[in-house]
C-alpha cells in the first residue's frame, strides 16, 4: 500500500489485505499512525534509508489534541526515572558504562 507522510512524501509499505482495507476506510478523512517493522540501511553520507516497511497495525490520530495536552499525558505516565536526580546522566551511564 502507499501512504503519504506528513511532509507529503508517498511511501510504500507491505500490509496484509485485511489491514489495508481497514486503513482504506480512513482514506482522505483521517490522519492515521501506522505501526510496523522497518528495515533501514545507513548511506555513505550517514543518513538512514528505509529498505522496507511491514505494517502491523494503525491508530487514528486525534488531530484536535494539542501539543500541550500530549505532553501532559506523557508526563502523567508513572516511572521510577522521575525520582532520579539526573535521569539523563543515568541514561549515559547505561549506554556508555
Nearest by Cα to 54 from 9, 7, 12:
12
Report how far residue 59's alpha carbon sits from residue 30's, in angstroms, rounded to the nearest whole number: 10
Show me where the domains of the chain are located.
2-96
Average pLDDT of 29-50? 95
Per-residue model confidence (pLDDT) at position 30: 92
Q: Are the C-beta atoms of residues 57 and 19 closer than 8 Å to each other?
A: yes
Q: Which tens digits make up the pLDDT trace of 71-91?
A: 999 999 999 888 899 999 999
Indicate whether 24 pLDDT > 90. yes
Quote the Cα angle for 17-63-37, to 5°. Answer: 40
Average pLDDT of 34-55? 95
* pTM (predicted TM-score): 0.63
Per-residue model confidence (pLDDT) at position 16: 97
Mean pLDDT over each residue of the chain, to the nearest integer:
93
Amino acid at each position: 500500500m502507499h501512504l503519504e507522510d506528513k511532509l507529503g512524501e508517498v511511501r510504500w509499505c507491505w500490509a496484509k489485505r485485511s489491514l489495508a482495507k481497514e486503513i482504506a476506510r480512513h482514506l482522505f478523512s483521517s490522519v492515521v499512525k501506522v505501526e510496523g517493522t522497518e528495515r533501514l540501511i545507513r548511506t555513505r553520507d550517514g543518513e538512514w534509508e528505509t529498505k522496507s516497511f511491514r505494517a502491523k497495525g494503525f491508530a487514528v490520530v486525534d488531530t484536535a489534541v494539542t501539543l500541550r495536552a500530549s505532553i501532559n499525558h506523557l508526563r502523567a505516565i508513572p516511572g521510577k526515572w522521575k525520582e532520579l536526580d539526573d535521569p539523563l546522566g543515568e541514561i549515559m551511564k547505561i549506554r556508555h558504562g
